[in-house]
A and B are shown apart, each in its own frame.
Chain A
Amino acid sequence: MLRRTYDRLGCFEYFEGNDKCILIKEQSKTKVREVYLTSKSAGEIALSICPTHAGIMIGRLGKRLVPSLQGAEIIYQLGRKYPFITVNEMGEKLVLYGRDVFGQSITDASPNIKASQNLVIINSRQETLAIGLAKVPSQHIFKEGSVTVINVLDIGYYLRFQGKELS
């Protein structure tokens, strides 16, 4: 399933490349399966001595892979097949404060976004700021005066939550 996901997203060579290891950890209480990207050595050690955390958590595996913020960033930067919106400077500031995205802040978007689809929110320099959830499809995503993309998780979350673990 993971390999099919990588292939579909155009990042197969990266995740299957040298010195990379993919680990899957099932949380005993919640049964949620987390997918981690590590170096080969770190992966070997993690398999023999189970750590609290290893490498980068790139997503959660249910019926399909739901990328984390870091996973979405890797996939977007590599494959560019991941849906995205680009926000202007004001939109960037609001996103980094944890706010949702208004249509007028969006300067560009993937053409085939569907409502309730996951996407990455990037700035004008192609830098990933957040993962978001489209409230509306592409044709309505630029609508002024409305929140058209929900900010699910942005890179500023830690500073706001002061290190508390997020579910």
Chain B
Amino acid sequence: MSVYSFPPSTISNEISQEFGYKEWMVCRFLQFIPKLEDCLGAMEKEPPKYIRINTLKITKSELIQKLIQKDIMYEDTILDEVLLIKSSRYPIGATTEYLRGYYYIQDLSSCLAVDELDVLPNQLNLDMASAPGGKTTYISQKMQNSGCVIALEPSIKRINALRFNLLRCGVRNSCIYALSGAHAGKLGLKFDRILLDAPCSGEGIIAKDPTIKTRLVPQQIANCVHRQIELLQCAINIVKPGGLIVYSTCTFAPEENELVINKLLSMNNKIKIEPQKYGEPGLTKYGDLILDQRLTNTRRFYPHLHNTSGFFIAKIRVISGE
């Protein structure tokens, strides 16, 4: 799949100079990011800090008491288990409460992806790209430590991080396999729910890694797309009829988001895109390209509109054969 490019303009030149991006990126962003300067401005600031309460170990009211005792100021969010940290005297990742697994530092958009997965206790679920374990631990939490969540991660080093987080959060319904998500079929299992938080170009997390502004090249986007299509097709093949797949990325690139879903819709007649509660509707037009109208059910998240990292979520139901 090719990466679309758009001609430079006076505006793209000005914006790229102001915010330090390569101009080809800005030319693309102008096609689909609303109020682009506000978005890029939001990514110049420190990203908001969210924590997800780990209800396997503590209740919301108990954790709030502990936060208050430590003078940590917070706000509720659209998800009951996720708090926005407004101020803290201590680094939020070094408190006893963090080390004890009472909460996980996790962006709201990541939590929304798991929330859309509609996980239930006693299911058999899969996290195809699990490390470092934020979404896996949230899945386990929603399953109340019952059933089984299979966590895949091909990198041994990242497995150590994953294992630590699962232990820290008290997750006992997990099995970790040193396996790429593309080879998940080798397990011979069919899953109720699959989460695919796909490796991507990371445009949506430039606030955490500003080097992406200048080091990203179009070929990296193309490489990601190839991998994402392979992973998502694998997920469709191993989900139970009637099961649910959530595909998510932390990039703005339509090639890695709507166009991947568009491709899979054309390859599979047994899937449908389900609506979601939050976010901006996905793109159905990109440059001169007209996309499947069903993509309006996918969702985009922008830093300046939603106070999250840039994110994309597609909720895919595999239609039952009956």
Query: Is the Cβ of B96 less than 8 Å from the Cβ of A92?
Result: yes
Task: State A134–B172 Cα separation when bound (angstroms).
Answer: 29
Neighbouring A residues of B161 by C-beta, 8 Å: 158, 163
Of the listed stretches A1-9, A51-59, A106-114, A139-147, name the one at the interface; the rest are far from the partner chain: A51-59
Query: Is the Cβ of B148 less than 8 Å from the Cβ of A51?
Result: no
Neighbouring B residues of A123 by C-beta, 8 Å: 96
Query: Is the Cβ of A42 less than 8 Å from the Cβ of B96?
Result: no
Interface centre among A20, A56, A96, A123 (most CB of B within 10 A): A56
Q: Does A70 contact B (CB under 8 A)?
A: yes
Q: Report which of A54, A92, A156 forms a contact with B175, defined as CB distance below 8 A.
A: A54
Task: State A19–B122 Cα separation when bound (angstroms).
Answer: 10
Query: Is the Cβ of B99 less than 8 Å from the Cβ of A164?
Result: no
Of the listed stretches B162-170, B257-265, B307-315, name the one at the interface; the rest are far from the partner chain: B162-170
Q: Does A101 contact B (CB under 8 A)?
A: no
Q: Does B178 contact A (CB under 8 A)?
A: yes
Q: Does A24 contact B (CB under 8 A)?
A: no
Closest Cβ of chain A to B64, distance in Å, is 15
Q: Does B94 contact A (CB under 8 A)?
A: yes
Q: Does B174 contact A (CB under 8 A)?
A: yes
Query: Is the Cβ of A163 less than 8 Å from the Cβ of B94?
Result: no
Q: Does A116 contact B (CB under 8 A)?
A: no
Task: State A139–B267 Cα separation when bound (angstroms).
Answer: 74
Neighbouring B residues of A158 by C-beta, 8 Å: 161, 164, 168
Closest Cβ of chain B to A79, distance in Å, is 17
By beta carbon, the residue of chain A nearest B150 is A45
Number of chain B residues whose Cβ lies closer than 8 Å to a Cβ of chain A: 34
Q: Does B223 contact A (CB under 8 A)?
A: no
Q: A52-B178, A54-B175, A159-B94 are in contact. Are A41 and B100 (CB under 8 A)?
A: no
Mark out the residues of chain B between 242 and 271 whose CB falls within 8 Å of any chain A CB in the assembled complex: none
Please report whether the interface of chain A is mostly helix, strand, loop or mixed according to DSSP: mixed
Mark out the residues of chain B between 84 and 140 whose CB falls within 8 Å of any chain A CB in the assembled complex: 93-94, 96, 99-100, 122, 124
Query: Is the Cβ of A42 less than 8 Å from the Cβ of B164?
Result: no
Query: Is the Cβ of B173 less than 8 Å from the Cβ of A42?
Result: yes
Q: Does A94 contact B (CB under 8 A)?
A: no
Task: State A129–B163 Cα separation when bound (angstroms).
Answer: 18
Query: Is the Cβ of B148 less than 8 Å from the Cβ of A49?
Result: no
Interface centre among A123, A127, A163 (most CB of B within 10 A): A163
Neighbouring B residues of A57 by C-beta, 8 Å: 167
By beta carbon, the residue of chain A nearest B97 is A127
By beta carbon, the residue of chain B nearest A92 is B96
Q: Does A39 contact B (CB under 8 A)?
A: yes
Task: State A163–B132 Cα separation when bound (angstroms).
Answer: 10
Neighbouring B residues of A44 by C-beta, 8 Å: 148
Q: Supply 19 further A-B pairs (C-beta < 8 A) apart from A55-B175, A163-B164.
A: A19-B146, A41-B124, A42-B173, A42-B174, A45-B148, A49-B175, A49-B177, A52-B176, A54-B175, A55-B172, A56-B170, A56-B171, A57-B167, A158-B161, A158-B168, A163-B157, A163-B161, A164-B160, A165-B160
* 24 pairs, A vs B, C-beta closer than 8 Å: A38-B173, A39-B147, A41-B124, A41-B146, A41-B148, A42-B172, A44-B148, A45-B175, A45-B189, A49-B187, A49-B189, A53-B159, A55-B171, A55-B172, A55-B174, A55-B175, A56-B171, A127-B96, A127-B100, A155-B100, A158-B164, A163-B157, A163-B161, A163-B164
A-side interface residues toward B, CB under 8 Å? 19-20, 37-39, 41-42, 44-46, 49, 51-57, 70, 92, 96, 123, 127-129, 155-156, 158-159, 163-165
B-side interface residues toward A, CB under 8 Å? 93-94, 96, 99-100, 122, 124, 145-150, 157, 159-161, 163-164, 166-168, 170-178, 187-189
- Nearest 3 interchain pairs by C-beta: A39-B173, A51-B175, A41-B148
